[in-house]
Amino acid sequence: MRPPRTDRGRLVLVLCLAVAVTVFTATVPLLRGWFDLRVYYGAVNDWVHHGGRIYDYQVPGTTYGFTYPPFAALSMLPMALVGPNTAIAGALLLNLAAVAAVLWILVGRELRRHDWFGWALAACALALLEPVRDTISFGQVNLLLLALVLADGWLLSSGRGRWGRWAGAGIGLAAAVKLTPAVFIGLLLLARRWRAAAVATAVTAVATVLAAWAAPDASRFYWTHALWDTTRVGRLDYVSNQSLQGVLARLAAPGEPSRAVWALTVVLVLAVWVWRTHRALRADDWPAALALTGLVSCLISPITWVHHLVWLLPSFAVLVHARRLRTAAVLYGLLCSSVVWLWFDDASGLDGFLGSNTYVWITLGLLLTLPTGQPAVTSPSRSGSTEEPAPAPAPAPAPATGEPHARPYTTRS
């Protein structure tokens, strides 16, 4: 089926898709009612206005409270200056801005070929994807953290000017807000990007020290107690936990999963990640290296809720660039389906083992088979010319920075 060629036909198609997406998201998925944002807002508001302690706050009628590092609460302080509805509006706008940034970095070149029509189709497609719609409906921070990490990836692969020296700062901020993105510092070390790794580590350390100065009691409690107490976050065997630990917890339920078995699986998965990422880096395929790191972060984290799976978006971009469109379409359909929730009440038996862990199998499969070493795609010139580019001259010797050049993102223009 060919897309319409006229602007009127495209507008009609987009409007029909927007209506279908709206009906779907309003009736089929479980809308999350900004629950996580209510946690953030309540904890920060109680801390600032009532002298409460960050990790003592719980949403009324629940056992859920703040679980991120203290710097995350510090960065959310502006919410204490506004009402809850304004905080919701602000979170929505930030998430939409993050979606736009993620799309621009990952597939901006492809979308620009189709002008507004491509962006509209991409927005409709992302609105259906369960991790994205859950992140927005929860009022979560995942898309913002992904945008920070991808911005660093863009700088690392294409930035050699004044902004390139700040590469790593986005990863450092993301790791200070939430621990999982710290695995990207491991990627920087694996890629021998020593300066970027140092910047990321320094930013994380400075942010953590700043939080310790602003909230010493909260910092002490988090790093000595809350960090190690997984019960504060939720049950490990809950079907939304699509990590290796979640698989083992559902197998062991109602008992506790073996920590030794989990540690062994984490080591094996990390070994696969190192092997595949090293191959990607040898081919100067930085987008694939970032995508593989996003995959492994979801697998090794003790808890990876479905909305955390926005870290799979770079893998979809790699599949699109590699023309693995059928694979991308099948995986996209599964991630839109909310299929794991069919085993919400009972994940026992072979069907429960396979079905309730569907997103884990997708993540593992991508880690093992994601294409790497794809040839670079020449970006359009800044003038917007559609003519074939002239052969590029031989590259000049790389500056002695101690860091190898990487293949630029295809969105570079």
pLDDT in tens, 271-281: 999 999 999 99
Task: Give pLDDT, residue 387.
Answer: 37
55-113 tens-digit pLDDT: 988 888 888 889 999 999 999 999 999 999 999 999 999 999 999 999 999 987 777 77
Q: Taking 60 as the threshold, does the pLDDT of residue 407 lie above it?
A: no
197-222 per-residue burial string, b: 16 or more CB within 10 A, e: under 16: bebbbebbeebbebbbeebeebbebb
- pLDDT of 12: 82
Residue 400, pLDDT above cutoff 50: no
**pLDDT band, residue 33 (cuts 50/70/90):** confident
Q: What residue has token string 């913002």? A: 144
pLDDT score for 160? 57
Choose between 230 and 332: higher pLDDT.
332
Residue type, 118: G
**Cβ contacts of 268 within 8 Å, gap of 6 or more:** none
Considering only residues 161 and 68, tell me which one the structure prediction assigns the higher pLDDT: 68
pLDDT band of residue 305 (cuts 50, 70, 90) is: very high
Question: What confidence category does residue 51 fall into, taking pLDDT thresholds of 50, 70 and 90?
Answer: confident
If we measure between CA atoms, which residue out of 34, 77, 58 comes closest to residue 307? 34
Q: In which residue are the tokens 């060919």 written?
A: 2
Check whether 371 has a pLDDT greater than 50.
yes
Cβ-count burial 66-101 (b if 16+ within 10 Å, e if not) = bbbbbbbbbbbeebeeeeeeebbeebeeebeebbeb
Position 376 pLDDT exceeds 70? no
Which pTM was predicted?
0.85
Q: Is the pLDDT of residue 158 over 80?
A: no
Residue 238 clears pLDDT 60, i.e. is over it: yes
Q: How confident is the model at residue 269 (pLDDT cuts 50, 70, 90)?
A: very high
Q: What is the pLDDT of residue 256?
A: 87
Name which of 224-238, 247-261, 332-346 the model is least confident about.
224-238
User: According to the model, what pLDDT value does residue 308 have?
Assistant: 95
Q: Is the dihedral angle over the CA atoms 128, 132, 135, 139 positive or is it negative? A: negative
Higher pLDDT: 366 or 52? It is 366
